[in-house]
Structure 1
Amino acid sequence: MILRKKVRVRQHVNPLGSKYQTPASPLDWEKVYAKPNQPLHLDIGCAKGQFLLNMANIEPNWNFLGLEIREPLVMDANKLRYELGLTNLHYLFCNVNNSLPLLSSLPPGSLQRVTIQFPDPWFKNRHAKRRVVQPELVAELANYLAVGSIVFLQSDMEFVAVEMRDRFAENPAFEKMGIGEWLSENPLPVPTEREIYTQSKGEPVYRALFVRREVSNEG
C-alpha cells in the first residue's frame, strides 16, 4: 500500500502576488484533448475539479478545461483525470486574470460555456481587486466566447454574486437570461460541492445566466 503525503493547500491565494504574474503558456490543444474540435466548457476557479470531472463523464461530446490558481489542486486533479482515462478533460494551474490569451489558439467558435462558481469572496474592500471577476476579465471572455454561448455565475455570498452579475450586465456583449433577479435552479446537470453544502444548510445560492450576444460593432 502506497501512502500519499498530504500537502496542505492554502484556501486563499492572492492573485496579485509576484508568484502569479507569469501568464500560462499556450496549450497544444491536439495533445490536450482527443477531439480538440469539440465545444469547450471553461470552469474558472475549478478548485479540486470534481464538478468538471462529473461533467466530463456525462457529456463526452464536450471538452472541459478547469483553471485554478492553487497548483497542488491542479496536480491532483490531473492525476485523477489521467487515472480515469478521461480524454475530454484537462486542468491548468494559472492566474486567470493574466492567462486568458491562451484561449486565442482554440479552434474558432470552440468556447461555448463558462462557469464561475463560488469564487473567493475577499470580504475586505481593500482586497476587492483580488476578486476574480473584474471588468477586464469580462471583456476578455467576450473576445473568446462564440455568439450564443453562455456564462453561468453562482455564489453563496450575495455581494459577490451581485458584483459578478453587474459586471457582466455592464458589458454590451452579454445579455442576462431569465426572469427576476436570480435563477431559482442550476441549469447545469451537476452541482458543485460548495453548492450541495450550502443548500444542505438551507442557505440561499445566488445564480445568474448570461448569453454572449452579437453586438453591432463586431465584424
Structure 2
Amino acid sequence: MSGRPNKKSKRQDYRQAQRDGGAPAMPSKKFYRQRAHANPFSDHRLIYPSTPEDMDWSALFPSFVADTEAARSAPETEDATETVIKPSIKKLVKDIEVVDVGCGFGGLLVALAPTLPDTLLVGMEIRNQVAEFVQDRIRALRAQDSQGKQYQNIACLRANTMKFLPNFFRKGQLSKVFICFPDPHFKHRKHKARIVSTTLNSEYAYVLGPGGIVYTITDVQDLHNWMVQHLEAHPSFERVSEEEQEADPSVAIMRTETEEGKKVERHKGQKFVALFRRLEDPAW
C-alpha cells in the first residue's frame, strides 16, 4: 500500500518540474526549504576550479559566451593515427565584475541587474536549495522577457567564498563585493566563522581592483562594528565617506531589496551600512 508522497518528495518533484517544463514559472520558497545557516568549515561536496582560468561560466551566462572551437592536439607518437580532440572551456566576452557573497534568495542580484546592464554579476551561496531557488528564479525571469535581454547578466553559483573565492576570480578582477546581512555568529567561539576577518579581508583585497568597493550592511550593531574595525585596520582598504556612500545608487538598492533588508524594514529595525574602497598597492 503506497501512501501519499512526503514533503521532501513533493519539493524534489516541484524543483525538477521547474527545470523540465517549458516556460518556467517563478519558484515558490516553500519548495526550497533549507536551514537558515550553514557551517562554512564543513565539507559540502562543492565543485570548484583549480584556478580562475579553469572555470567555465558559459552555462550561467549563455548570452555572453565568446565563439571558441575545440582545441586539437597532435598525436604524441608516430604510431598514433587519430587526432585527440579536447573540448576547450567556453570563455565569456567580458569578465564578471560584481559578487554578492552569500546572496540568499537573490533579491539584490535581481534588483541590480537592470541598473548595471553591461556588467556581469554573480551570487555565491553555500546553501544548496537556496542556490537552486535563485537559479530557478533567474531562469524564470529570463523566460518572461519576450526580447530575451533582461536578467542575462546575473547568475547564482553554489560556493563557499570563505574557502574558494580566489579559485574563481583573478587578482584585481572585481569592482564590487557585497556582504549583506551575513550570519552574525554571536558567540565568541563562533567569531572565526564571520565572513569579515583579517584573513578574508586579504582575499577581498586580492580579487578587487584598485578603486573597487566592499559593501557591508547588517542589522546587528556589534557585527557592524566588527566589520568596520577589521576592514579599517586592513592596509588595502579605506572607509568611504558618508556623503559618497549615500550618493551611491547601489547602497539604496542594498538597503531595500534583499530579503533580510525587507524583514528588518517590517520589524522597524536599524540597518548599519559601511563601504570600503580598495587602495592602490604600494610601490615595492
Instruction: State the TM bucket, normalised to the shorter chain.
Output: 0.7 to 0.9
Higher mean displacement: 26-35 or 95-104: 26-35
Corresponding residue for residue 94 of structure 1? 159
- Tell me the CA shift for residue 119 of structure 1: 0.3
8 Å Cα contact 1:184-1:207 kept in structure 2: no
SS for the counterpart of 2:156 is strand
- 2:202 pairs, out of 107, 124, 139, with 139
Corresponding residue for residue 151 of structure 1? 214
- Tell me the CA shift for residue 31 of structure 1: 4.8
Provide, for residues 123-162 of structure 1, a one-character-per-residue CA deviation record: whole Å limited to 9, x for no partner: 1111111211122211011111111111110100011111
TM-score, normalised via structure 1 length: 0.85
Q: Distance in 1 between matches of 2:136 and 2:242?
A: 41
- Structure 2: stretches of 5+ with no match in the other structure: 1-10, 16-30, 65-91, 143-150
In structure 2, the CA distance between the partners of 1:59 and 1:50, relative to structure 1 (3 Å rule), is same
Task: State yes or no: 1:199 paired with 2:265.
Answer: yes
Task: Give the root-mean-square deviation of aligned CA atoms.
Answer: 2.6
Corresponding residue for residue 14 of structure 1? 39
Q: How does 1:79-118 map to 2 (within 5 A)?
A: 79-85=136-142, 86-105=151-170, 110-118=173-181
Q: Distance in 2 between matches of 1:121 and 1:66?
A: 19
- Tell me the CA shift for residue 59 of structure 1: 2.1
Aligned length: 212
Q: Distance in 2 between matches of 1:159 and 1:23?
A: 34
- Tell me the CA shift for residue 109 of structure 1: 5.0
Q: Distance in 1 between matches of 2:33 and 2:266?
A: 26
In structure 2, the CA distance between the partners of 1:122 and 1:196, relative to structure 1 (3 Å rule), is same
8 Å Cα contact 1:38-1:61 kept in structure 2: no
8 Å Cα contact 1:147-1:214 kept in structure 2: yes
Identity score, percent: 27
- Structure 1: stretches of 5+ with no match in the other structure: none
Task: State yes or no: 1:64 paired with 2:121.
Answer: yes
- 2:131 pairs, out of 55, 74, 92, with 74
- Tell me the CA shift for residue 30 of structure 1: 4.8
